[in-house]
Amino acid sequence: MSTKTKFEEIKRFESDLEQCTKCGFCTFFCPVYQEERTESSVARGKNMLIRALLAGDLSYTKEFADKKMEAIESTGADIVATSCPGCQIQLLDGAIRNKMPLKVMHIMELLE
């Protein structure tokens, strides 16, 4: 399966990725980043990873995705809401790959 086909579902987030200015302000508010201190845990890092995936410059490893999806599955949640476009993409991809009945939403969708 080509990279273009594999990530076709996440193409709808491309305009969201362009909104990231890579300022790092998100590092102060992301609880996962505060715990792990890894760039891939914060919006800026996720945006860079997703851009590289869509460009075909990076492979999305199973271990990377499984860690996040296992944590979500352990909560029993059927809806996950986030304002981070990078998180939305990773969660949507993980839910599809793992055939999880998980709805991924933007926080603002909860207010509608």
For the segment 19-67, what is each residue's pLDDT rounded down to a tens digit? 777 888 878 877 777 777 878 777 788 788 778 877 878 776 777 678 7
pLDDT at 108: 85
| Residue-range definition of the domain harbouring residue 50 | 3-111
CB-CB contact of 40 with 58 (8 Å)? no
Domains identified in the chain, total number: 1
- Digit-coded pLDDT (tens) for 54-93: 787 877 677 767 877 887 887 788 888 888 777 788 888 8
Q: Which amino acid is at 28?
A: F
User: Which tokens belong to 47?
Assistant: 């945006």
pLDDT at 1: 46
Reply yes or no on whether the pLDDT at 2 is more than 50.
Answer: no
Residues 6+ apart with CB under 8 A from 109: 81
Helices marked H in 56-107 — which ranges?
Answer: 62-75, 85-97
pLDDT at 9: 66
Burial class (CB in 10 A: 0-12, 13-18, 19+), 60: middle
> CA-to-CA distance for 14 and 32, rounded, in angstroms?
23
pTM here is 0.49
